[in-house]
Structure 1
């Protein structure tokens, strides 16, 4: 017995020998069953009847269908376990138990309760109806604990997508009797997870500040309660990676890579530190440039002449793409269909240049079978279709389809627009699919504004950029200020007569009661215009206007010149004009430097009471320096008003250069009748201004939206048709230069971009009225 007892520790009097023998027998029998080749000895069950207990709403056949058991079927314990699992997975029961009782199998179940009401508690940022659309649990259905938990995770994920990583959601049930419950999702929203800091590793060519401006994600700053782009959204990092890549590629860094984008969440889960690890590589410039043709009979010289790519320029994919477009467009004009231009780039790592050869090659003969447009419920098909330069039956051009996609997105009517091609009914045809998601295009605005010159103003406006889904623009606004009232109406049809012609109709009624002038003015009129592109960056516009204007309430103490102009009464002007606009920003070929030029003239004299030519010029160039942190621009603008015949200019015709030469009050410079008591500014028939500006960071975090600037303005206003003033004293209307310099503080706020200007007049006339400080809404050229 001692040998038999070695494996059993004794306690007290020990175990009875009979019990020990029974235990050993059971163990031995189990070992026999587990031996290989002896599975046939495992226990099986066979039932002639099946009884379901505990089911009230779910009928017996439904339970048996989930169990998958047939009468008389031999079942192993594993098969019984599988049947139990299938019933559980139906989601109809809280507990399931299969109990063999001789030839009868008893299925004991406890039904899940029915959901009576679903409530959400603690949610403030997301409405109940929006949460209801997220969850799969529904009222008047069977409650499932697993489904409720999945719904809670889906709600938490929605909060995470909105930057609230600390949000928690707990499903709770409240018994209501009769096996019914209310399902309540208890939500703790937590704080928004903000981007506390955006940093970069590996950047040498551009500063952190310059790169932060590229990203869609922004750092949290003073206005974190209003600005939403400082909310951390993980999916936004993918867009930021692409934005960084495009930024570097467009500046010649062809090997740029984003090696990693990490986000470290703070313990409180209300902030993250985002770090981009990048590899810039070297900057490449354009080396040799040439064009070759692999198509017989094509004179490559004509194509080489249209290239706008010069050696030494910083490489940019946009530069290459634009020149490919030029060559393919020329090929179409020459009747060369199915011609493709392949840019072949050869890298010279030693000299950090890229040689480019544009090769004309034959592409596959594929035609456009049709263009299908989907998703547009308001916008007419023709508005989308006219963005294509290709029609059904035309040769298929992948580049043209890509450009059409960009034009559709540029309309501003859609949240998203996807343009793709798929095989057509035959191998030589394709179908172009356009899938759009529309967005609101109208707005009703009520606002207030303030500037030092204009005072307080109230504005009511309505605008619709896609009127009746036709792509037409309609706007109407009323502005009432301290000393003026402006009413404006505008309508534009971008595809007049089905062509690339923009037809416009404008009407206005403006009155002024200036606090700094002893006269009032009124002006009302209409204008018709037609404009069309003459190149990718140039547009030409022709217009006709009919207007009436007058000068009223001139003080007896004002200049005799103004009194004589008041005596003219209401005058009607009938004027034809044109305007030429050039803007390189439309192509975006150079991300660093941009040029803008506007030239317009109008001639009044065909009917009406006035006879004059009014000419105006505006030119500007802007570029970026010091790792794109500093923006510098030079602006030149001028105007010449030439009265014809017996007509003499009035104060409503002449220039004052308000806002163009900073540091002076409105109507603060130019010819002035010093012999008159009021000494009103008379304006001039000529003006010219040259401005130099520089915008730069001021050292504050970029997310605060505060920047600085310096400026230097040089210009003048001069020239009168009638310079005989009060008491016969001539008015000095010669050209005298004014020179001002100053500092600007820019502040980007949710209310709009604000500008604070501090000026100092370095050169002025004794009668000029200076203004050392000005506050207004900032603008850009």
Structure 2
């Protein structure tokens, strides 16, 4: 609805040739606006000769002030009468017909406010902005109509009548011009999704035009990181179906050829800077598929070396030479002296909860340091990666002098806390309930605090976990974890357990891909109420020991190649750790664990291959021996029940002091639409648990030595609204007598 002001301009018929001189000006109808203000808008002085055109200009100025609904200028001899009708005051603003967006959300979009002067133009702008907000939520059929309800005392109620309409879904996403990667693979890259069975839950199947611009960029990044340097999205066509209930989106792309690195050299334009030293820090080699990320990482390594050597204002300029004949790109890294520009200050705005220091520590530079644009870009990415902000803009501008730069950081905070309550189901422990609290930015300090209580079957768990990512302002992570667990006897548990753990730790980098964690562990473990069949057997004697404390120092080293992204399709994770108990407490032991995991994608990234090898060793000293609660008896491989393999006394599983397992699996598409989030897999596991103290055995023992078990199976992966789920269907192809195999298990999927 448009707002129309009816205006009467009282000028004589011969206005075009008429001049006026007024000895007095009378203003009528104004209540809130002072008469002097109206005269100022009119711009007519007493005794001044004015023409009809100038009177019309005065009328336009008064009306253009936006303060009056109608304006009437009437010359009456030597007297000028200005009659105005003021716009009313907004009594209240309300929204009618909205269900998808709440009133408080809509109020944040509009300019109009209660107790302000009503403006028809502003109300129309508000309606337009609200319509755009609905379009961003995929409801392009939404209509917003502002209505005015007159009240007494020149007040009005402003009502926005809203017709939300239905969501316009993306029915189909297609690609034209792609040869290296299938439509299915590219649909997994972009953020937009096709409508499917889960359309009521998956919001990304709604059509949002701005999202298509983001999709263009991620497609470009995807191809360029894989050597397609000429790739571009020529156009994106979004066609509305005839029924106007769905869009068909088509990305037209040009892939070009895939390039690899050719000759890689380093030259120096700076005296006393040896290019050979900088060449040695490079990880990229000729023949590797070209990626701008690898070039950027190489530049970062060289510039860090320059800082370490005290070479100020060192800049690394990658100079690319293209060889179309052999599809290679030669890269010459030129070490040059950059401009002598310093960081004057870093200004941070928009953070109301997050402390300045949390944002400031994402910068490798401080006030007074040489300015490096690459370091500022990296800091911006780290700020966004925190997950504390909805928006984070980092820009540099000239400071108080030409050789000074001010870095402006503008952020918009988002929610970081989660309160969860729900149920769970496990094929191992049955149904359970869980109550949890998590805050990723505790008290605005960038700390993470998690507390969780869960009950399932005959088990109760209590966990509190705290992490400070920058302990004492350094690149050191401080962690504190405490947990408590109780289990009761049932058909599978032959004894009750009480287990408590307190573990502070410090984790810090030791290389580009390596991190070392040092920790102290205080553990209390107790076994009691044995209900098995061997009253004088191994488990019975272990429950008679009562509670024991262990006090240990430990370390764990991890090496993760995914930190540098040298290969977007592959990665390796290595870890090795040891725990030494005997610093107080009741027992002495050394626990050693190691694992290696690898992943790669093949067949144009349609199939993912994973392999892992892990093992553990527990050795007691000082005359002590392990108990079932201490040994490895958890589930280590698919195809067997938890505690279903390893040493046994009769039919009672004892756990083992050693374990080793190798897992191999492939994940592949099933031909279902990507928006369902369902894929398939196949796996093969081989492993064993062995070794136990047999001094108290009274029943028949089995599997005390290494006995390898083998299992194969199929998996179904589902990225469900409740979290990533994995269903395994296994078949054991080699097992030992007494092993408990398991055909089906349902777990929460873990990603490598």
Q: 1:413 aligns with which of 381, 388, 393?
A: 388
Q: 1:331 aligns with which of 288, 306, 312?
A: 306
Q: 1:497 aligns with which of 472, 477, 492?
A: 472
Instruction: Give deviations 1:115-157, integer Å, cap 9, x for gaps.
Output: 4443322122233344344334444555444443333222222
- CA–CA separation in structure 2 for the residues paired with 1:383 and 1:373: 11
Instruction: Give deviations 1:434-462, integer Å, cap 9, x for gaps.
Output: 33333333333223211101222222222
1:750 paired with 2:725, answer no
Correspondence for 2:6: none
- CA–CA separation in structure 2 for the residues paired with 1:378 and 1:138: 27
Correspondence for 1:372: 347
Structure 1 residues 550 and 316, CA, compared in 2 at 3 Å: closer, same or farther? same
Correspondence for 1:703: 675
Normalising by the residue count of structure 1, what TM-score does the alignment of the two structures yield?
Answer: 0.88
Q: 1:550 aligns with which of 505, 511, 526?
A: 526
Structure 1 residues 478 and 591, CA, compared in 2 at 3 Å: closer, same or farther? same
Unaligned runs of 5+ in 2: 1-13
Correspondence for 2:4: none
Matches within 5 A, 1:564-603: 564-603=541-580
Matches within 5 A, 1:621-632: 621-632=598-609
Instruction: Give deviations 1:57-91, integer Å, cap 9, x for gaps.
Output: 46766555544455666666655544444444344
Correspondence for 1:320: 295
- CA–CA separation in structure 1 for the residues paired with 2:15 and 2:642: 107
Correspondence for 2:8: none
1:486 paired with 2:457, answer no
Structure 1 residues 109 and 710, CA, compared in 2 at 3 Å: closer, same or farther? same
Unaligned runs of 5+ in 1: 1-39
Instruction: Give deviations 1:640-697, integer Å, cap 9, x for gaps.
Output: 2222342222212222350x31111111111222xx3xx1111122211111111122
Q: 1:612 aligns with which of 554, 564, 589?
A: 589
8 Å CA contact retained: 1:458, 1:480: yes
- CA–CA separation in structure 2 for the residues paired with 1:62 and 1:707: 71
Please report the RMSD computed on the Cα atoms of aligned residues, expressed in angstroms: 2.7
1:352 paired with 2:324, answer no
The alpha-carbon deviation at position 708 of structure 1 amounts to 1.3
Correspondence for 2:365: 390
Instruction: Give deviations 1:531-558, integer Å, cap 9, x for gaps.
Output: 2101122101111212121221222404
Structure 1 residues 393 and 478, CA, compared in 2 at 3 Å: closer, same or farther? same
Instruction: Give deviations 1:545-587, integer Å, cap 9, x for gaps.
Output: 1212122122240481111222222222122211001112223
- CA–CA separation in structure 2 for the residues paired with 1:144 and 1:408: 41
* Equivalenced residues, count: 736
Correspondence for 2:499: 523
SS at match of 2:133: helix
Correspondence for 1:31: none
Task: Select between 583-592 and 136-145 the one with higher mean Cα deviation.
Answer: 136-145
Structure 1 residues 255 and 717, CA, compared in 2 at 3 Å: closer, same or farther? same
The alpha-carbon deviation at position 702 of structure 1 amounts to 0.8
1:666 paired with 2:638, answer no
SS at match of 1:229: helix
Task: Select between 276-285 and 464-473 the one with higher mean Cα deviation.
Answer: 464-473
1:713 paired with 2:685, answer yes
1:248 paired with 2:226, answer no
Correspondence for 1:217: 192
Correspondence for 2:11: none
8 Å CA contact retained: 1:222, 1:704: yes
- CA–CA separation in structure 1 for the residues paired with 2:335 and 2:236: 41
8 Å CA contact retained: 2:225, 2:290: yes
The alpha-carbon deviation at position 257 of structure 1 amounts to 0.8
Correspondence for 2:20: 46
8 Å CA contact retained: 2:639, 2:730: yes
Correspondence for 1:11: none
- CA–CA separation in structure 1 for the residues paired with 2:92 and 2:354: 40
The alpha-carbon deviation at position 108 of structure 1 amounts to 6.3
8 Å CA contact retained: 2:26, 2:79: no
Correspondence for 2:619: 642
- CA–CA separation in structure 1 for the residues paired with 2:118 and 2:476: 62
Structure 1 residues 201 and 565, CA, compared in 2 at 3 Å: closer, same or farther? same
8 Å CA contact retained: 1:248, 1:256: yes
Structure 1 residues 133 and 576, CA, compared in 2 at 3 Å: closer, same or farther? closer
The alpha-carbon deviation at position 700 of structure 1 amounts to 1.4
Larger CA Rg, structure 1 vs 2: 1
- CA–CA separation in structure 1 for the residues paired with 2:367 and 2:118: 55
8 Å CA contact retained: 2:607, 2:669: yes
- CA–CA separation in structure 1 for the residues paired with 2:383 and 2:27: 64
Q: 2:655 aligns with which of 648, 663, 683?
A: 683
- CA–CA separation in structure 1 for the residues paired with 2:125 and 2:601: 52
Structure 1 residues 414 and 670, CA, compared in 2 at 3 Å: closer, same or farther? same
SS at match of 2:637: coil
8 Å CA contact retained: 1:166, 1:270: no
Structure 1 residues 121 and 753, CA, compared in 2 at 3 Å: closer, same or farther? same
Q: 1:160 aligns with which of 132, 135, 146?
A: 135
Task: Select between 65-74 and 537-546 the one with higher mean Cα deviation.
Answer: 65-74
Correspondence for 2:269: 294
Correspondence for 1:449: 424
Correspondence for 2:175: 200
SS at match of 2:129: helix
- CA–CA separation in structure 2 for the residues paired with 1:134 and 1:377: 20
1:536 paired with 2:512, answer yes
- CA–CA separation in structure 2 for the residues paired with 1:296 and 1:213: 49
Normalising by the residue count of structure 2, what TM-score does the alignment of the two structures yield?
Answer: 0.91
Correspondence for 2:10: none
SS at match of 2:638: coil
Structure 1 residues 119 and 309, CA, compared in 2 at 3 Å: closer, same or farther? closer
Q: 1:563 aligns with which of 516, 527, 540?
A: 540
SS at match of 1:235: helix
- CA–CA separation in structure 2 for the residues paired with 1:180 and 1:337: 67
- CA–CA separation in structure 1 for the residues paired with 2:352 and 2:334: 43
